[in-house]
Amino acid sequence: MAGLVKTWLAGESQLLRWLAFEDYARKVFANNHPAWHSEPMRYAAGLADANKVLGSQVVTFDFGAVFATHAGLAADSEGVERITALLNDAALSAFCADAVAAMAHQLSAGVDVVLQLPSPSALLVMLGEDVDNIDFDLLDDAVTVLADLLREFAQLPVAGLVLAFSDNGVDPGDEGEACEVLQGLAAHYDWVFALRLESDDPTKAHYELAADIRLIPTLEAARLGERENLTGGGLNSAFWSGDAISPISRACLYGDVPADLDPRLIIERVASLA
């Protein structure tokens, strides 16, 4: 595998370009095809084609986006069984396995392929669980199921795991403690472990969960140097609207590529990073 994130984390490179572009690829390169999350070769090829334009050094398989498409599978379940209802679906499991394998085969020599999971509370809420029902025991059960899922990818050239948190009212201390299992699993497989955060709020206890890097898509580039922990950001809505990024000697430029922006403007903004 390329090992580009680890190279940057070690201080052996100055700039890392890390774009999240699931929605952009689906709309622009797959024309919102209804089989986007059921045909693994179409999915992997769409991400690869999109990245020829974007030049991201990291390409993500976003379990959250896939699970959202198939959330109806959990409609008749409660608690952690909402998650197992998804993962026990043979067609969905085959899609995930084949899509990640295809991405790793096509891309891992030139970019880092990473897996992104919604945090346990984010996934439970997405699947219809009431926030008031989510306590530490349920979070712990969810993490156990998610860890089993991740183990299925241990033999592939995967570079990292991103855990995506949502500010949804679930106790962040409980969630951070529960997610230590996923942190340990990433370390066991020598994966980079990243947290994707919706905001730069130091009061959130799960922000204390040890990670190699924190990814904050809303963060301004000028604030990257203020962070005590290694942090990616800067490619926020202001950047995509045309704001320039001041010269930065060392940074992980991270953000979401907007799917609703004119693709020609996307190309222009990406070119400005060169």
CATH of the domain at 188: 3.20.20.210
The helix (run of H) or strand (run of E) holding residue 46 is helix 40-54
In a domain, 232, yes or no: no
Of the candidate ranges 66-75, 99-108, 155-164, 225-234, the one whose mean pLDDT is the lowest? 225-234
Exposure pattern of 68-83 as b/e (b: 16+ CB <10 Å)?
ebbeebbeebebbebb
CA-atom Rg of the chain in angstroms: 18
In a domain, 142, yes or no: yes
How many structural domains is the chain composed of?
1
CB-CB contact of 48 with 107 (8 Å): yes
The CA–CA distances, whole Å, from 24 to 47, 101, 121 equal 9, 21, 25
The helix (run of H) or strand (run of E) holding residue 180 is helix 180-188
The helix (run of H) or strand (run of E) holding residue 95 is helix 90-107
Measured in whole angstroms, the distance separating CA 101 from the mean position of its chain's CA atoms is 17
CB-CB contact of 55 with 270 (8 Å): yes
Q: What's the average model confidence in pLDDT over 29-56?
A: 98
In a domain, 56, yes or no: yes
Which DSSP state fits 232?
E
Q: Are strands 213-215 and 231-234 parallel, antiparallel or unpaired?
A: parallel
Counting every residue written for the chain, the total comes to 274
Q: What's the average model confidence in pLDDT over 196-220?
A: 83
- Asked if the model's pLDDT at residue 202 lies above 80, the reply is no
In a domain, 203, yes or no: yes
- Asked if the model's pLDDT at residue 205 lies above 60, the reply is no
In a domain, 41, yes or no: yes
pLDDT tens string 115-148: 999 999 999 999 999 999 999 999 999 999 999 9
Residue 248 tokens read as 């930065």
The CA–CA distances, whole Å, from 273 to 9, 69, 129, 211, 254 equal 20, 32, 41, 26, 12
CB-CB contact of 96 with 115 (8 Å): no
Domain residue limits at 91: 4-216
CA 112/CA 59 separation, integer angstroms: 6
pLDDT tens string 9-32: 999 999 999 999 999 999 999 999
Q: Taking all residues of the chain, what is their mean pLDDT, rounded to a whole number?
A: 95
CB-CB contact of 182 with 148 (8 Å): no
In a domain, 13, yes or no: yes
In a domain, 260, yes or no: no
In a domain, 239, yes or no: no
DSSP 62-76: EHHHHHHHTGGGGTT
Q: What's the average model confidence in pLDDT over 47-52?
A: 98
pTM exceeding 0.85: yes
Strands (E), 121-250: 160-164, 192-196, 213-215, 231-234
Q: Which amino acid is at 99?
A: A
Closest to 120 (Cα-Cα) out of 158, 152, 161, 79: 79
CA 177/CA 180 separation, integer angstroms: 6
